């Protein structure tokens, strides 16, 4: 069935709250197709379709390149920088089209924000859909900045141009991780986390620089598309004995070759695997705790065993407590009992002692307001060692914290430093009071913590164990890890989280893959404990050794080595990388300007680009 432009416009007026953006884009696409059908010039027809095809390719590349509900293909994310580069070189309205590309792609990839706003904020989907679009608009601004810079330096030699743009991409991600407290979600390199062989370069350059390198490969492919247009000028890429034509492939293959070499040298460990399925009556009324009937009364406990004196066992307990009842006083004691039961079952699976690790705010009680429950928890811990997420109240302020409890005593505490805007605190603005009420209902409104060292040290089975804690959102920020490892050492990264907010969407997977990058950067294994999943053990190469499913009662037990920490190259380079980048960027800028002036001695503008 075919629709005319008039019908599309009528539908747009009727349903503008739901699909204003989609219908506007459809109108433009239909108009372009209609003009193409009556256009006799083949070149004009290609040009009219090219812009819309590039916008769709870039948007779909973002959505399918990162974790999504359908099929994740990491390499597709390169279509986004590829599209930005071509739009900057071929389109007159490249700024608007680059912004639309980012808004479509990132807005769709952030779809889970609309789900969260609807479930926990009671915002109708008709309005909630604008939240991911707004965030997509913000992320799209950085892509637009890349396209703007690509346009300005389009007269530079191609090799100089793509390298300069790669550095510019690095600066954009670095700035996005800092501006307005930062939001380092969807870095280009994190899309490749499901392919550990492609991300090993992060142990030298870090995830931001690695994103710039991936962007360079995409720009090289785009430059290859433009080469027939630049043949008259003589492309620098073609002058390097033909190697330049394959620059994009060479960059990706170099990353692959380095990653394969690193992983080949890694000695795999042969574990003895044990899986137990426990079926018991739940401690809490079923409908209050779980959303999915398939896991009623069932808990899965997995354990990997390895005999080595340097090994220490950790057990991750995934309690699977619904966010709807987590903070209800009626269920606090039952929630605690459920975690205790799962902990005892996990240790019976191991048939030995392990360090018990619990998710973020696993126990929604404080030692100040819930003295009896807290005392009961300390009494149960007895000869056990617990690392648990628990709120802490001090001086009138609440802190989202991780606490070390050993032998019935609280020995150490880490307070979360980097809080989630609108999730754990609300900026002090009058018109945002509505969000403060929602946060109060679900246990938010925290104060940022200040920790002297940011590493928890303790003794376990005659060994000193050092844990670097990262609570939830903190795992997406590289600086929170490398800054603490300057002059310090740790044996393991510990990321505790509560992704119950996101229901069964792609957000927990996106969060997991962002956390994977911290292991590769630091050269440390990671233990990840999440309330409803995904909990996991990740080795120092970013390979997921064990993981749970979403919304299941599970435990994972695995031994980790307690040995002298050997920092990666990135840990040493991290403080200096921005300065190195600025120097290289300045050099490429000067080289490009000088080369362009030599090619156009009278200062004339190169008219090869389409204006």
Which pLDDT belongs to residue 18? 34
Q: Does the pLDDT of residue 606 top 70, yes or no?
A: no
- Model confidence at 29, pLDDT cuts 50, 70, 90, reads very low
Contact 485, 414 (CB under 8 A): no
Mean pLDDT for the chain? 83
- Lowest-confidence segment of 8-17, 48-57, 223-232 by average pLDDT: 8-17
State the average pLDDT over residues 561-585: 95
Q: Are strands 456-460 and 409-415 parallel, antiparallel or unpaired?
A: unpaired
Distance CA 312, CA 309 (A): 8
Give φ, ψ of 409 to 5 degrees.
-130, 145
CA geometry: angle at 30 spanning 28 and 35, to 5°? 95
Mean pLDDT of the region 280-303: 54
Per-residue pLDDT at 222 exceeds 50: yes
**Is the pLDDT reported for residue 611 higher than 50?**
no
Nearest Cα neighbor of 325 from 286, 279, 280, 281 is 286
298-305: strand order across its sheet: 272-279, 298-305, 553-561, 311-318, 355-357, 385-394, 397-406, 409-415
Helix or strand or coil: residue 365? coil
Inter-helix orientation angle 79-90/94-109, to 10°: 160
Low-confidence winner among 42-51, 176-185, 294-303, 355-364 (lowest mean pLDDT): 42-51
In contact, 170 and 214? CB cutoff 8 Å? no
Question: At 294, is the pLDDT very low, low, confident or very high (cuts 50, 70, 90)?
Answer: very low
The confidence band for 288, taking pLDDT boundaries of 50, 70 and 90, is: very low
Which residue in this structure is represented by tokens 């880490």?
Answer: 414
pLDDT in tens, 406-458: 989 999 999 999 888 766 766 555 545 555 555 555 555 788 888 888 999 99
461 conformational bin, left if phi > 0, alpha if psi -120 to 50, beta if neither: left
The pLDDT confidence band at residue 23, using thresholds 50, 70 and 90, is very low
- The residue behind tokens 């050099």 is 587
Enumerate the H helices of 15-129 as residue ranges: 16-37, 42-65, 79-90, 94-109, 112-121, 125-128
If pLDDT is split at 50, 70 and 90, which confidence band does 86 have? very high
Dist CA 439 CA 512 (whole Å): 24
Give the DSSP per-residue string, 397-419: EEEEEEEEEETTEEEEEEE--SP
- Averaged pLDDT for residues 600-609: 51
Of the pLDDT bands very low, low, confident and very high (cuts 50, 70, 90), residue 608 is very low
Task: Say whether pLDDT at 604 is over 70.
Answer: no
Segment 587-606 mean pLDDT: 76
Helix (H) or strand (E) holding 69: none
The lowest-confidence range among 127-136, 386-395, 429-438, 585-594 is: 429-438
Token pair 């089975």 is at which residue?
A: 461
Strands (E) across 420-521 are located at 456-460, 463-471, 492-497
Out of 43-52, 62-71, 131-140, 557-566, least confident range? 43-52
CA gap 180, 176 in Å, rounded: 8
Helices (H), 110-246: 112-121, 125-128, 130-152, 158-176, 202-230, 236-239
Give every CB contact of residue 423 below 8 A, 6+ residues apart in sequence.
439, 444, 473, 501
Q: What are 485-503's pLDDT values in tens digits?
A: 998 999 999 999 999 889 8
Q: Does residue 299 register a pLDDT over 90?
A: no
Q: DSSP class of residue 425?
A: B
Position 364 confidence tier, pLDDT thresholds 50, 70, 90: confident
pLDDT digits (tens, 9 = 90+) for 230-257: 544 444 444 443 445 678 889 999 999 9
CA-based end-to-end distance of the chain: 37
Packing angle of the helix pair 130-152, 112-121 (nearest 10 deg): 150
Specify which residues 495 forms β-bridges with. Answer: 470, 528
CA distance 509 to 528: 12
Band the pLDDT of 309: cuts 50, 70, 90: low
Question: What sign results for the dihedral spanned by CA atoms 39, 42, 44, 49?
Answer: positive
Bond from prior residue into 338 cis (ω within 30 degrees of 0): no
The pLDDT, as a whole number, for residue 297 is 58
Q: Is the pLDDT of residue 332 over 90?
A: no
CA distances from 281 to 30, 284, 297, 491 (A): 59, 9, 5, 37
Task: Give the pLDDT score at 457.
Answer: 95
pLDDT band at 45 (very low <50, low <70, confident <90, very high): very low
Do 57 and 100 touch, CB atoms closer than 8 A? no
Q: What integer pLDDT is reported at residue 17 of this predicted model? A: 37
Phi, psi of 233, deg, nearest 5: -85, -20
pLDDT value for 599: 75
Contact (CB, 8 A) for 329 and 354: no
């Amino acid at each position: 069935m075919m629709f005319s432009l008039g019908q599309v416009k009528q539908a747009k007026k009727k349903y503008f709250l739901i699909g204003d953006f989609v219908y506007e884009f459809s109108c433009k696409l239909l108009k372009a197709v209609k003009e193409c059908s009556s256009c006799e010039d083949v070149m004009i027809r290609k040009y009219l379709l090219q812009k819309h095809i590039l916008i769709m390719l870039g948007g779909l590349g973002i959505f399918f390149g990162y974790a999504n509900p359908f099929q994740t293909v990491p390499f597709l994310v390169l279509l986004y920088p590829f599209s930005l580069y071509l739009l900057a070189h071929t389109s007159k309205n490249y700024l608007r089209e680059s912004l639309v590309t980012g808004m479509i792609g990132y807005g769709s990839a952030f779809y889970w924000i609309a789900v969260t706003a609807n479930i926990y904020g009671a915002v109708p989907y008709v309005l909630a859909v604008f939240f991911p679009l707004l965030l997509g608009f913000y992320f799209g601004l950085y892509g637009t900045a890349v396209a703007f810079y690509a346009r300005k330096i389009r007269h530079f030699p191609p090799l100089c141009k793509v390298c300069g743009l790669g550095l510019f991409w690095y600066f954009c991600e670095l700035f996005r991780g800092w501006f307005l407290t930062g939001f380092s979600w969807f870095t280009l390199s994190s899309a490749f986390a499901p392919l550990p062989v492609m991300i090993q370069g992060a142990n030298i350059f870090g995830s931001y620089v690695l994103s710039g390198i991936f962007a360079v490969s995409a720009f090289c492919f785009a430059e290859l598309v433009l080469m027939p247009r630049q043949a008259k000028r003589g492309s620098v890429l073609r002058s390097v004995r033909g190697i330049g034509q394959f620059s994009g492939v060479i960059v990706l293959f170099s990353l692959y070759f380095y990653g394969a070499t690193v992983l080949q040298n890694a000695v795999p460990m042969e574990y003895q695997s044990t899986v137990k399925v426990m079926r018991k009556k739940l401690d809490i009324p079923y409908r209050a705790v779980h959303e999915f009937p398939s896991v009623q009364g069932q808990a899965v406990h997995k354990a990997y065993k390895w005999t080595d004196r340097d090994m220490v066992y950790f057990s991750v307990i995934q309690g699977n407590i619904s966010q709807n009842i987590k903070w209800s006083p009626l269920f606090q004691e039952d929630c605690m009992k459920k975690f205790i039961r799962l902990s005892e079952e996990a240790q019976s699976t191991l048939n030995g002692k392990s360090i018990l690790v619990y998710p973020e705010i696993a126990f929604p009680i404080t030692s100040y307001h819930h003295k009896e429950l807290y005392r009961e928890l300390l009494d149960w811990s007895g000869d056990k060692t617990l690392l648990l997420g628990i709120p802490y109240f001090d001086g009138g302020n609440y802190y989202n914290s991780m606490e070390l409890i050993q032998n019935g005593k609280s020995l150490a505490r880490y307070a979360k430093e980097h809080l989630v805007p609108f999730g754990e605190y609300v900026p002090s603005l009058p018109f945002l009071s509505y969000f403060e009420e929602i946060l109060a209902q679900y246990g938010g409104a925290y104060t940022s913590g200040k920790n002297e060292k940011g590493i928890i040290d303790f003794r376990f089975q005659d060994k000193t164990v050092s844990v670097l804690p990262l609570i939830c959102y903190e795992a997406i920020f590289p600086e929170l890890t490398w800054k603490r490892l300057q002059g310090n050492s740790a044996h393991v990264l510990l990321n505790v989280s509560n992704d119950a907010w996101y229901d069964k969407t792609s957000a927990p997977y996106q969060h997991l893959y962002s956390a994977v990058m911290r292991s590769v950067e630091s050269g440390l294994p990671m233990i990840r404990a999440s309330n409803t999943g995904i909990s996991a053990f990740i080795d120092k190469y970013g390979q997921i050794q064990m993981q749970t499913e979403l919304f299941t009662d599970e435990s994972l037990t695995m031994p980790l080595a307690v040995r002298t920490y050997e920092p990666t190259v990135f840990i040493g380079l991290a403080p200096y990388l921005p300065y190195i980048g600025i120097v290289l960027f300045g050099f490429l800028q000067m080289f490009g300007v000088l080369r362009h002036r030599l090619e156009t001695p009278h200062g004339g503008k190169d008219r090869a680009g389409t204006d």
